[in-house]
Amino acid sequence: MLIAHHLTKSFGAQTVLRDVSFEVHPGRMTALLGPNGAGKSTLLHIVTGLLRQDSGVVLVETQGGLVADFRDLIGFCPDDLPQAELLTGDELLDLTAGIRHRRRAPEAERALVEALHLDGAMDRLIGTYSHGMKRKLQLVTALLHSPRILILDEPFRGLDPESSAILKALLAVYAERGNAVLISTHDLLVAEQLCTEVLVLRDGELLDLSPGQESTAVGVPPETLEARFLRATGIDADAARARDRFFEGLDLLRDARP
Ligand SMILES: Nc1ncnc2c1ncn2[C@@H]1O[C@H](COP(=O)(O)OP(=O)(O)OP(=O)(O)O)[C@@H](O)[C@H]1O
């Protein structure tokens, strides 16, 4: 289990995370939702050790107890794709194994590469890959050290429906095998279908997404995740204000017509 405890982070005068605490459990998929700029990537970078928090701790609970150095236990797919455009896919796997001080595992690599339909592309330069192929290669490199916790920042962005379906199925299998999976996404349907836990960040704070009072009434269908998300984040009110302002702008333009 991954435990984030009272995390805060500021960039200069801007506070990006305010006292954020949560847990990510083995065998479950957790979605991290939130509007643009809410702090999702910052939070994932802190949790994966790429960025240092101002205060708070991140710990991983193992059978041997709580550990603070858990780099080997985490696999991370950041939002930005591999920049090693002048390496082949195979060379990137080589580099990743070297960084992790691991031997290559050709059989396992072949199985993953085939599952993601990347076979045939591994001796090509990454710079010639499509967006989806880069995403898939990123997933292979994140899995090579068999992490117990897999963290992905917007993994479905830019994937075609087939690739999304494959990735969803693979992530579900990974969680079912007792690993913890945490994904940030803007896709509420993905979060609802795929994840049993949902975290929502807004302005650096985790919001309470518990169902509304009405959804517990007998005979009333439960509130959708989208409805709860819009209510908790206040986005429905923001959208109504934006729409009114938009109409106002259109009316002013119409009145200004010669
Ligand atoms: N290195 C940085 N220096 C200064 N400000 C930063 C830095 N990284 C992020 N920020 C700011 O922190 C805030 C949160 O950014 P972050 O990328 O974590 O949001 P996000 O929820 O992932 O957004 P999106 O959904 O648009 O990807 C933003 O206002 C962003 O401008």
Where exactly are the structural domains of the chain?
2-207, 215-258
| Four-way CATH pick for 2-207: 2.60.40.10, 2.20.25.90, 3.30.530.20, 3.40.50.300 | 3.40.50.300
Per-residue pLDDT averaged across 143-163, rounded? Answer: 90
Backbone angle region of 204, left / alpha / beta, with phi > 0 → left and psi within -120 to 50 → alpha: left
Residue 188 pLDDT more than 70?
A: yes
Confidence grade of residue 31 (pLDDT, cut at 50, 70, 90): very high
39 lines ligand 1 (CB under 6 A): yes
- State pTM to two decimals: 0.85
Does the CB atom of residue 11 touch ligand 1 within 6 A? yes
- What would the two tokens of residue 90 be? 């195979």
How far apart are the CA of 83 and the centre of ligand 1, in A? 20
Nearest atom within ligand 1 for CA of residue 79: 27
State phi, psi for 226 to the nearest 5 degrees. -60, -45
DSSP class per residue in 20-34: EEEEE-TT-EEEEE-
Ligand 1, atom 28: nearest CA belongs to which residue? Answer: 37
Tell me, in angstroms, the distance from the centre of ligand 1 to residue 42's CA.
Answer: 6
Q: What letters, b where the CB count within 10 A reaches 16 and e where it falls short, cover 161-179? A: eebbebbbebbeebbeeeb
Residue 128 to residue 140: CA distance in whole angstroms: 18
Backbone angles phi, psi at 207, to 5 degrees: -100, 160
Q: Which two tokens stand for residue 91?
A: 């060379």
Ligand 1 atom closest to the CA of 186, numbered from 1? 25
Length of the chain: 258
Taking residues 133-161, what's their average pLDDT?
91
The finding on whether 30 has its CB within 6 A of some atom of ligand 1 is no
Q: Is the CB of 33 under 6 A from ligand 1?
A: no
0.85 surpassed by complex ipTM: yes
CA dist., res. 195 & res. 190, Å (int): 8
**How far does the chain reach from its first CA to its final CA, in angstroms?**
65
What HEC string does 31-44 produce? EEECCCCCCHHHHH
Q: Which residue is it, tokens 């200004």?
A: 256
State which ligand 1 atom lies nearest to the alpha carbon of 35.
Answer: 25
Is 36 touching ligand 1 by the criterion CB < 6 Å? yes
Q: Is 228 in the pocket of ligand 1 (CB under 6 A)?
A: no
**Which band of pLDDT confidence, cut at 50, 70 and 90, is reported for residue 91?**
very high
Question: pLDDT class for 214, splitting at 50, 70, 90?
Answer: very low
88: three-class secondary structure by DSSP? strand
